[in-house]
Amino acid sequence: MSPDLNAAPESRLDVQASALAAMSETRPMYWSVRRELWENRSIYIAPLAVAGVVLLGFLVSLLGLPHIMRNMSAHHPPGSVGDLVMPYGHVTWLIILTGFAVSFFYSLDALHGERRDRSILFWKSLPVSDLTTVLSKASIPLVILPLFVFVLLLTLHLIMLLLSIAVLLFTGGNVAAMWAGLPYFQMEVGVLYVLIVMALWHAPLYGWLLLVSGWARRATFLWVVFPPAAISIFEWIAFRTTHFGHLLGYRLYGFVAAAFALKMPDGTSVDPHFVPLTQCTPGKFLISPGLWVGLIFAAAFLSVVLRMRRYREPI
């Protein structure tokens, strides 16, 4: 009996020690991400500002909602989408594009800014590895901003839905017909799918931006734009081709063809304001060569960024 009694406390201590070790490994990453959010408030302020503007515009557009519902009842079958989905689609893509722009400029300044103001000397003096720092910066465009945009869009869509219901109740409109014609839950799942797809597809772009941010001494935007532009111009002058330009375009918006079926079963084009879940093709996206080649390049870029941060000095 005594060996068992002695072993029990030791096993509990081992569990506690392993739990503390796991916490000590994750807390530097957690606080590094918190640091990025503290120092770069535009990460959440810009999407919130755009959300406020589009919500104001939606309030104005609600004046025409009763007329839209009357037209649906007269000319459209129950369950059709039409004009009901359009405001949600506009809001969704505007917020997503805002998130992409914020991710672009954040990545461009993530490493350059701390070298410019020499705060890199302070951060390097802390017991936080360069790997943790680089991964925390990469997590902002790849994880944190997509999650924030998703939560923001969920909140916006819910507010828009409740306002629409209130207007219809006040004007005597048919709330049931609106609910039947608005694929609310499909829209939210579709938003999450789009954000995941875009984050994975644009990973090499963010890796390239972080690389330039850690390497360039000044004019980071020019160093991001000039080399691809020079290659494209050289290709056109020398060979009269535009393969490199098409490759850049493919990296920016090629995820659309890879992640979605752009034709409905009856041959009609998909409405860009709302893509049904039946038209999402995650299997095709996951086996797309463009996805995996891009992720390999993203990993290579981040490896170079990690090495540069270890040895680059303040500007």
Residues spanned by the domain of 244: 41-311
Dihedral pair phi/psi, residue 76, rounded to 5° = -120, 145
The per-residue pLDDT for range 254-289, each reduced to its tens digit, is: 999 999 988 877 777 887 778 888 889 999 999 999
Tell whether 65 is covered by a domain. yes
What's residue 19's pLDDT?
42
Q: How far apart are CA 141 and CA 191, in angstroms?
A: 16
Dihedral pair phi/psi, residue 186, rounded to 5° = -65, -40
Q: Calculate mean pLDDT across residues 137-142.
A: 95
Sign of the Cα torsion 11, 15, 20, 24 reads positive
Burial of 263 (C-beta count, 10 Å sphere; 0-12/13-18/19+) = exposed
Tell whether 6 is covered by a domain. no
Tell whether 304 is covered by a domain. yes
The per-residue pLDDT for range 151-161, each reduced to its tens digit, is: 999 999 999 99
Tell whether 165 is covered by a domain. yes
Tell whether 305 is covered by a domain. yes
For residues 233 and 308, which has the higher predicted lDDT (pLDDT)?
233
Q: How far apart are CA 21 and CA 196, in angstroms?
A: 31
Dihedral pair phi/psi, residue 80, rounded to 5° = -75, 155
Tell whether 185 is covered by a domain. yes
pTM as predicted: 0.85
Tell whether 10 is covered by a domain. no
Tell whether 119 is covered by a domain. yes
Tally of domains within the chain: 1
The per-residue pLDDT for range 24-65, each reduced to its tens digit, is: 556 888 888 888 898 899 999 999 999 999 999 888 888 877
Tokens 């039946």 belong to 278
